Amino acid sequence: TKSWQKTGELLGHCASAKLHGQYAKAMEAAGEYKKAAAAYEAAKEYDHVIRLNLDHLQNPEEAVRLVRETESAEGARMVARFFQKLGDFATAIQFLVVSKCSREAFQMAQTHDQMEVFAEIVGDDAMKEEYVSIAQYFEGKKQYVNAGRFWLRAEEYPKALKQFISAPTDDQESAIDMAIETVSKAKSDSLTHQLIDFLMGELDGVPKDAKFLFRLYMALKQLREAERTATIIAREDQLLGNYRNAHDVLFNMYNVLRDQKERISAEMVQDLMILHSYLQVKFHVKRGDHTRAARLLMRVANNISKFPTHLVPILTSTVVECHRAQLRNTAFTYAAQLMQPQYRQKLEPKWKKKLETIVRRPDKTEVEESTTPCPFCSYDLQAMRLDCPECKNALPYCILTGCHMVRDDWANCPSCRFPALFSLMKELVSAGDQSCPMCSSPWTEADVVKVNNPSAFLKSD
């Protein structure tokens, strides 16, 4: 023993792995486990270091660290057995997988109901047979989404889709998203039609939210169908009064089509423009620009059937803003409409008397709308008009005012590339914080750039 002690004192200056190993065995036999572990580590005999930390030094953290550092399969098995004895099956399974004992890990997961842990650990690195076994386990437990996920990883697409469309209502959103991923990977017409039938309610009598059909068409890059579905979704949101949601659905679809250089339907352009016009009203009212607010509301009021949830409040705002903007004849027209029995009872008391006065004492005066030149042919027309009677083109509109654009006052949002009148954009940004009303990106003074020749942004019909 004394000779080994002297050896230990000299080992710090020795690089011989063999000598360190012999010394480690002697120290272990003598019960000097800490010295033994250090010597085994110097000899690079890491499995012995792991064993001593687990069995004698009560230091599983060090054992785990060494397993992860050295990637020792035998060390991982020892760590797994250690945690198994403690009843920590999740950690045991993790180290069995590391030690390439997948079958043993699977059996432990099956026995101790830890399959989700096993599935997460194997991730994308398992063999197809393992994915199939996991899928079958979850299928037997009626865990439809989990079963579908692993049928999908096993590339068994029909089986995956069957599980996803069988999922209960609570799991349906994630299940449908996974079903969409399944059919997009499968590239199978029959599976695609099966999913469409499910989404349309043909299989269970319950039509699903149109957003899922939209996601499916986008995943399949069927942009025309996606556009039609986006329009349906936006209109449903609009009918419910969810105007910002409707706006964002159309705006996002518009961007996708534009980026793919696909034609954007006039119907989508029109729907987005009307929604955007309505959402800009509050901005101009706050600025005290009642003329712009009134002109925007007149555009919305001409399409009031698209706003049934807030028909009376919108028409009331139209009357009030038009009256403030000296558009008295228009104010009278909409006030008279609101006096009809089906609307009158829904009027707010604070506005009812004012509207009655406007109807009883009609003022038919009307300030004429200013005119600006068509950006295509320079024909003078009303600023809010978005079609030119001379050249017959549909005119791009300013996202700040709703007016048609003019060639010598042109700027673009650098984020969404929608146009805005340069003069007003500059004024607003100089006055303080301002963000794009179309895409909500913040603007700085550096973003306000005048476009001297906007021909590239003008496309004839």
* Higher-scoring residue by pLDDT: 2, 159: 159
CA distance 376 to 395: 8
Beta strands in 387-454 (DSSP E): 410-412, 419-421, 434-435, 442-443
Global pTM? 0.71
In this structure, how many other beta carbons lie within 10 angstroms of the beta carbon of residue 241? Answer: 12
Give the closest residue to 352 by CA, choosing from 323, 312, 324. 312
| Mean pLDDT, range 118-133, rounded to an integer | 77
In whole angstroms, give the CA distance from residue 414 to residue 402: 18
Mean pLDDT across 343-350: 90
Q: What is the C-alpha to C-alpha distance for residues 230 and 358, in angstroms, rounded to an integer? A: 41
Nearest alpha-carbon partner for 179 in 190, 195, 199, 156:
195
Distance CA 132, CA 159 (A): 10
Residue 93: the pLDDT is 72
pLDDT at residue number 122: 72
pLDDT band at 428; cut points 50, 70, 90: very high
3 state DSSP class of 261: coil
Mean pLDDT in the chain? Answer: 87
Distance (Å, whole) CA 453 – CA 456: 8
As given in the structure block, the two tokens for residue 169 are 């209502």
pLDDT for residue 447: 94
Inter-CA distances, 459 with 4, 15, 223, 428, Å: 92, 79, 21, 28
Q: Report the distance separating Cα 119 and Cα 124, nearest Å.
A: 9
296 has a pLDDT exceeding 60: yes
| Predicted pLDDT of residue 391 | 95
Question: Is the per-residue pLDDT at 128 higher than 50?
Answer: yes
91-98 mean pLDDT? 70
Residue 291 pLDDT exceeds 50: yes
How confident is the model at residue 202, as a pLDDT? 87
120 vs 158: which has the higher pLDDT: 158
- Give CB contacts under 8 A, 24+ apart, made by 150-156: 150/119, 152/178, 152/181, 152/182, 152/185, 153/124, 153/126, 154/128, 155/128, 155/185, 156/132
More reliable by pLDDT, 5 or 416: 416
Per-residue pLDDT of 387-414, as tens digits, reads: 999 999 999 999 999 999 999 999 999 9
pLDDT tens digit string along 168-182? 988 889 999 999 999
pLDDT of 25 strictly over 90: no
For residue 151 the two structure tokens come to 């049928």
pLDDT of residue 32: 75
* Closest to 232 (Cα-Cα) out of 184, 280, 268, 277: 268
pLDDT at position 5 = 52
Mean pLDDT value of segment 241-267: 92
In whole angstroms, give the CA distance from residue 420 to residue 300. Answer: 20
**Residue 343, pLDDT score:** 92
* Mean pLDDT for the stretch of residues 49-62: 74
pLDDT at 15: 59
* 428-454: b (≥16 Cβ within 10 Å) or e: bbeeeebebbbbeeebeeebbeebeeb
CB 115 within 8 A of CB 87: no
Segment 307-336 shows an average pLDDT of 96
Contacts of 120 (CB under 8 A, 6+ apart): none
Alpha helices in 30-72 (DSSP H): 33-42, 46-55, 60-70
Task: Give 431's pLDDT tier (boundaries 50, 70, 90).
Answer: confident
Residue 155 has pLDDT above 90, yes or no: yes
Copy the structure tokens of residue 218.
Answer: 């986008």
pLDDT the model gives residue 112 = 74
What pLDDT sits at residue 1?
A: 47
Length in residues, the chain:
461
pLDDT in tens, 218-242: 999 999 999 999 999 999 999 999 9
Residue with tokens 């036999």, as numbered in its chain: 29
Residue 433's contacts (CB-CB under 8 Å, 6 or more residues apart) are: 442
Does the pLDDT value for residue 350 go beyond 90? no
Report whether pLDDT(100) > 80: no
| CA torsion angle 194 197 203 206 (round to 10) | 140
Task: Identify the weakest region by mean pLDDT among 26-35, 98-107, 381-390.
Answer: 98-107
Looking at residue 404, what DSSP letter applies? Answer: B
pLDDT of residue 106: 74
Is residue 357 over pLDDT 70? yes
Once rounded to an integer, what is the mean pLDDT over residues 255-281? 94
pLDDT for residue 293 is more than 80: yes
Q: For residue 384, name the pLDDT band (cuts at 50, 70, 90).
A: very high
Q: Which amino acid is at 192?
A: T
Residue range 346-360: average pLDDT? 91
Assess whether pLDDT exceeds 60 at residue 6: no
What is the average per-residue pLDDT within 148-165?
Answer: 94
